A and B are shown apart, each in its own frame.
Chain A
């Protein structure tokens, strides 16, 4: 194998000084050289498109998702300016409708789910002791499909073609009669982009978690964050096909003239709602469950004790994932469905509070018995508790049909879901950014500035969204571009808009902290927080091969339970990309497998797929036209490598690998 350029993290990485106290060439040094050669990350322009390394792709995903977050946040700021006073003329109805639809769409599809999956892409292989994520080329494909879909949607905003039908796009408003032009088609096809990408990542995560864990990491020794990503991935696999179906048949209705949503010809408008919300409810748990995993990681580290009640926590995560599929009709309580059915969904929507409650109680117990260290990540987790519990309780009230019939589609619901999504997912995410930033970049973020940004965000959030509960009680509906003065909603709206300004300030502080720390933050050691999960057992940032030696895990807290003479995996080749595959339950080694080298074919396939998707917005001929180019790129992708004893995918039985 010829020499390849080393990746950029080499600049801050001095192998001899960090790991080897003696300058002698030892077996470890030779191993390091071989692994660096085998797992190289290419540079240069072509190299940038060929990288299959999960950490690089994960970082790209995170940065891209936060760019979308900032864009959608600015859209929200525009909305709050328009709503600050009654009868405002800052945004007309058409522009406001595009802005609120795009804000919701970007936040839900282009930020919240991808960023959680991105944290999984980066952290899960490290946490389970693997050298890369499973299906690395699919990972590249999923990133570029996501990027192109997101860029497509943002571009529509510049072309007056942004969707204006709400992020949930109910028919017939989004149908061919009432949504002229291509706005709704771009929305529907963006769904296809993001769901293809999301499904791909979910599949990779499940395979990584089930089959490539380090030996000794049985299921009941997996970190809670890994459990949360596993549950999330299964939810993605079962939920996303529903919305892809819904949007695909909406496209068919609009482009080709099918009658799925046309009651006059035997279709039904409620079909859209069922299909959409069957996805839409698990979607919010897809966003929320990874955050629960992050909270567990942060609480364990910042109390220096394992989280209380591991088994209860795991069962709660899994229960949330299952029960989350039985709630979707609570978004449709006002549609006149029969009462017995609605009663079932009330009960299910109440039941899902129980696993979440158990988790909160276990975390409080963890805080009780540990020794809290009040760094920024823990502050964000405490903010999460304060905000999410309120949001969860308002959710419990929404489960009640009569109460929901009054507050459905009002600002009470807006308050509720911002409490659970911003408080329940984004606050832990930001805490996670502060927590894992040293691991990802090798530098610490500024803790003092972090605490300031936390308080600004916490105060700004509550000032913005708490008054909205009251606005809902006062009868203010959602999705309105203005409101009359005589109803007295002006004061609370103005307060909310001022709070939104504070949120912008907090966001600016956060971005500033990230940028400044990236360039000039304090250098981070391997494990600056003294955490217990495996990613902290390698350098910050990790080398291209993640771990010099794959450890054999000896307990639930991989680093804290590590013995003096920790056993490591031997018998896996280090001169090529060979990995150890273990079995699902107990991570017993089962076989070896080869991972692919960097390749540009997944990127090309993503380009062809994107052109195919965008073309099918305008003409059904795009479908047959795409077959040949897709086939070409897929053949290039899957073309078998040269025949040798180490052909990729060949499984060799093990003699002894532990």
Chain B
């Protein structure tokens, strides 16, 4: 009995730890995730109960004392009735599951509402490009690997891929949606509490699938709009000599062949846009904190951090590297 109790405690503890935390589906922070989590609790508790009952009946069937009445026809009839009853109960439970799933699914269709926005999600190997379109094309905002959304409104996601199949997934906010090259898929998310939520690619996409994460920042609408306004600005002018030297080195190095910094002559679209790289919470597709040290390591040799990633090593002189870092970190 004590062993059974220990087992139950371990199972309960692990279930509880599953509930908390970033990137956990049972820590919903918005309506679609909440609806899925409720459905999940229903399914899991009913299934757990079924499992306990079935195992208990099987154990009883195995261990019971046999008697001579076992061979009689009425025993066979009683067993038949039991099997039919169990099948009937199973069918009823499955019908309940199916109906509740269908209704939950219908409730997940993309809503519209005042203040709803649309974000284009473009998947690359192995980073995310979030694009906020506008009536004026020059006001488009591209934010790599960091998705800001206003709190409390539906955010319509239009998902596309530039290369292979990826999957956009923020467990705290909704289920996943695949990004399939050749077509546009749609989903939506909504966060009701301000906060930072981690998302990750959920469809195997090559070498660095494991490290293709992103961050969703849900903030009040005015903060969101001011963020959009700030992101619309071209790159900040460097204020120090070192930063100016860093910009020159950037524009004379392989960096400008892949990265855009709006307001300079660097306009390539292969890699993430760096116009406001200093303001990001993470770099390297959500896998490294945006600190000077991590940025330096990434710029110097991204291959040692994420082998196979598209960014080549950049063997700069140490002082040049420091200048570039100063410049990049000034781009808020």
Contacts and interface: CB of A to CB of B under 8 A. Distances in A.
Contacts of B26: 473
B322 interface: no
B192 interface: no
Interface string B64-105: 101000110001100110110011001100100110111011
A94 B207 contact: yes
Nearest to A473: B18
A475 interface: yes
B201 A473 contact: no
B25 A475 contact: yes
A561 B299 CA distance: 79
Contacts of B105: 339, 342-343, 401-402
B109 A339 contact: yes
Given A178-B163, A357-B87, A365-B79, A403 B176 contact: no
Contact of A477 (B54, B58, B163, B202): B202
A309 B55 contact: no
Contacts of B101: 346, 399-403
B58 A367 contact: yes
SS of A interface (majority): helix
Nearest to A356: B90
A351 B202 CA distance: 28
B21 to A, nearest CB: 6
The residue in A173, A178, A360 that gathers the most chain B C-beta atoms within 10 A of its C-beta is A173
A269 B22 CA distance: 32
B108 A402 contact: yes
A339 B165 CA distance: 20
A619 interface: no
A322 B300 CA distance: 58
A173 B126 CA distance: 13
A394 interface: yes
B178 A335 contact: yes
Contact of A470 (B18, B71, B210): B18
Contacts of A361: 82-83, 86-87
A235 interface: no
A170 B204 CA distance: 9
B204 A94 contact: no
Given A93-B207, A170-B203, A336-B185, A354 B164 contact: no
A487 B23 contact: yes
B54 A360 contact: yes
A362 B23 CA distance: 42
A351 B104 CA distance: 19
Contacts of B66: 371
The residue in A165, A351, A358, A397 that gathers the most chain B C-beta atoms within 10 A of its C-beta is A397
B180 A269 contact: yes
A94 B98 CA distance: 41
B171 interface: yes
B90 A353 contact: yes
Interface in A258-298: 263-264, 268-270
A269 B94 contact: no
B101 to A, nearest CB: 4
Nearest to A400: B101
Contacts of B23: 474-475, 487
B216 interface: no
Interface in B87-132: 87, 90-91, 94, 97-98, 100-102, 104-106, 108-109, 125
A88 to B, nearest CB: 11
B185 A402 contact: no
Interface string A401-413: 1111111111000
B210 A482 contact: yes
B217 interface: no
Interface residues of A, number: 80
A268 B19 CA distance: 38
A368 B64 contact: yes
B39 A400 contact: yes
Nearest to A270: B180
Nearest to A408: B176
A397 B44 contact: yes
Contacts of A347: 98
Contacts of B187: 336
Contacts of B290: none
A308 B83 contact: yes
Given A263-B181, A399-B97, A480 B79 contact: no
Given A339-B109, A346-B102, A406-B25, A172 B40 contact: no
Interface string A215-251: 0000000000000000000000000000000000000
A402 B175 contact: yes
Contact of B200 (A358, A402, A403, A477): A477
Interface string A622-651: 000000000000000000000000000000
Nearest to B205: A173
Nearest to A477: B202
Contact of B181 (A172, A372, A394): A172
B51 interface: yes
B206 to A, nearest CB: 6
Contact of B14 (A268, A312, A369, A470): A470
Nearest to A394: B47
Given A347-B98, A389-B55, A402-B104, 11 more contacts: A334-B203, A336-B185, A346-B101, A362-B83, A367-B58, A396-B94, A400-B101, A406-B171, A409-B176, A473-B18, A477-B169
22 contacts: A94-B307, A97-B206, A263-B183, A336-B187, A350-B98, A353-B90, A353-B94, A354-B87, A354-B94, A365-B61, A365-B82, A369-B70, A382-B62, A400-B101, A402-B36, A402-B108, A406-B33, A406-B176, A409-B167, A475-B25, A478-B202, A481-B210
